[in-house]
Structure 1
Amino acid sequence: MSVGTIYGLGLGPGDADLMSVRADRLLRNARHVAFFRKKGRKGQARQIVEGMLRDDVIEFPMEYPVTTEIPVTDPRYNELLSAFYAETTAHLRHLSAAGEDVVVLCEGDPFFYGSFMHLYSRLVDHVPVQIVPAITGMSGAWTATGAPITWGDDVLTVLMGTLDQPRLEAHIKATDALVVMKIGRNFDKVVAALKNAGKYDDAWLVEFATMPNQTVNRLRDVGGKITPYFSIIVVHGQGRRP
């Protein structure tokens, strides 16, 4: 019996119309579909593909044991997630060994700050794995602002809001164009870093980019109320142009 292939399927930023043709084809023909979700939630990736799965699909929800309940610096955080990834990897390897292909749904692009990377590193030396790339969430966000993110020789920097404030400020000062992800509980720290780096007034906040509930606002106009997860801050470059 031939082994099955695990597909890391990039869904794009959230609008199903922005999926690639290949992703759509694989998804609609998949017998086994796996996806990440928080306990008690349907899962954003699963929600994106609602109505696109075949009637006899076998779903495998992979429920995170922890997300924001404890800080990432707590040793338990890595212990819990490592055990979780080991367990889910074992299940996927079992399906592959039985000759079954599995599509793993990935928001955005599978190789860009996604959970699938942790499965990939555990699978790639043991079973066939293929990656289906996709439009990233940040691309959807800067497109939503209606302005180019970079011009000419602009340098684009992508930062995680989880960085400490001095590092955030240093990177923000050194770049031309900027994307900040993983804002959530780091919102106040990111805002302070933008202000100290002199780029607060140029920043935009995009929530739920490309989704039906998308919002696009100047950061200075939103106050302290943001969506913890689906939020991206964008600062456009102003570089060389004809």
Structure 2
Amino acid sequence: MTGPAPLRAVVADDHALVRSGVVGVLEGGGLEVVGEASDGHEAVEQALQHRPDVVVMDVRMPRMDGIEGTRRLRRLAEPPQVLVLTTFDLDEYVFRALEAGAAGFLLKDAAPDRLVDAVRVVATGEALLAPVVTRRLIERYLQAPAPVAGPDPAADLSPREREVWQLVAQGLSNTEIAAALVVTEATVKAHVTRLLAKLGVRDRVQAVVRAYESGLVRPGKAG
């Protein structure tokens, strides 16, 4: 009997040495790298040819940068998830990448196992942000006008759901939350699904925003 097919990835980075390093990490983690690209245009071509689950995308690249590449990938009939991997944690790149449709944003100084885990996380459709990026993202969101006040769905959360919410707000993946709470990943997924429904938000990023708005987590304390 054979197990499930490995996740398929395309790696886009204009530096060949960096690109080969990322490829080595992903393949060492049991993923299948089906294509490589040196810019966003090539990333789209590789995605059309190989139909990967995830494209690991650098930001600053010639001809077409990773932001525009992400935008075009997400417009495909069968769009892959996009994990932005960069040395730059500037707010401009975070917001532009998320607006373009990226599911995750990770810095290149992340540990190899963190990168592999991030690809697996975004492949499932979950959002993933490096903790330092999460903090800056939320602080930026909190500068926007406050939403109209309404019923507080957080009042319906169980103690465990509030605990999961706090860990989500710190930028932890389901795997990391499961390890922290000593429960299965399936249990965490169930908690997160109920949490999002009770909070009335569409994804983890919005759940993090609500955590800051509610005072559950304060700027500078997450991560």
Task: Report which of the two has the higher share of strand.
Answer: 1
Task: Report which of the two has the higher share of helix.
Answer: 2
Choose 1 or 2 for highest CA Rg: 1
